[in-house]
Amino acid sequence: EAGVVQSPRYKIIEKKQPVAFWCNPISGHNTLYWYRQNLGQGPELLIRYENEEAVDDSQLPKDRFSAERLKGVDSTLKIQPAELGDSAVYLCASGTDYGYTFGSGTRLTVV
Amino acid sequence: GQSLEQPSEVTAVEGAIVQINCTYQTSGFYGLSWYQQHDGGAPTFLSYNALDGLEETGRFSSFLSRSDSYGYLLLQELQMKDSASYFCAVRKGRRALTFGSGTRLQVQP
């Protein structure tokens, strides 16, 4: 079966521009996570979905970040406007409480 | 809040055994997970411990002591391909995993 699919793999944008990342989780996985990983650090949670409901978005910077998971399947994470400090790898994961499967991530560079 | 501590770097030689420690502070602890991440790759699940004791999966083993808020990942018969970053992560109730900062393992020939 296909794993967690993310696109694009890489993205370079100028600051103040918008950007969006897409994630398709493993079929049948109701729980979806967006994490951000800075260089040399562990992943940090941005938002968790149970089906189409965002059940934990306490760490999502809501002034510039938004996310949606229509129909409880694939998900989109958006940043508008992007700042230099948003440069990081954005990881999507799906799975159970015991183990996650991560996608390959989107490496965002803001210049 | 939650905090996890693990060494930033560990170096070992091929064929040896290495232990990566993780201490955590969190309320409502449910379990400790370990993930491996090669440079440029995605984190991949290695193990999950909810109960005290040792869990073995091939060359990798993971240990948990809930009373000591401590766990470790043990890698035996090290291979060059084991060079990667290793993250411990705590599960608190139904909340998403909280990851440590990672331990970079370098295996030398």
Q: Identify the pLDDT of residue A59.
A: 92
Contacts A40 to B, Cβ<8 Å? 101-102
Are residues A33 and A21 in contact, defined by beta-carbon separation less than 8 angstroms? Answer: no
Are residues A35 and A42 in contact, defined by beta-carbon separation less than 8 angstroms? Answer: no
Q: Mean per-residue pLDDT for B78-104?
A: 94
Q: Mean per-residue pLDDT for B86-107?
A: 93
Query: What's the first-to-final CA gap in chain A, in angstroms?
Result: 37
Q: Identify the pLDDT of residue A63.
A: 96
Per-residue confidence at B63, pLDDT binned at 50, 70, 90? very high
Among B98, B34, B37, which Cα is nearest to B63's? Answer: B34
Per-residue confidence at B47, pLDDT binned at 50, 70, 90? very high
Mean pLDDT of chain A: 95
B39 has pLDDT over 90: yes
Note the Cα A25 to chain centre separation in Å: 11
The answer to whether the CB atoms of A100 and B101 lie below 8 A apart is no
Q: Mean per-residue pLDDT for B39-44?
A: 96
B1 has pLDDT over 80: no
B45 has pLDDT over 90: yes
**Cβ neighbours of B60 (radius 10 Å):** 17
Higher pLDDT, B95 or A8: A8
B94 has pLDDT over 90: no
Q: Mean per-residue pLDDT for B15-34?
A: 95
Choose the closest CB to B96 out of A33, A40, A41.
Answer: A33
Q: Identify the pLDDT of residue A98.
A: 79
Per-residue confidence at B28, pLDDT binned at 50, 70, 90? confident
Q: Identify the pLDDT of residue A8.
A: 98
| Most B-contacting residue of A38, A44, A100, A107 (CB-CB within 10 A), to test interface | A100
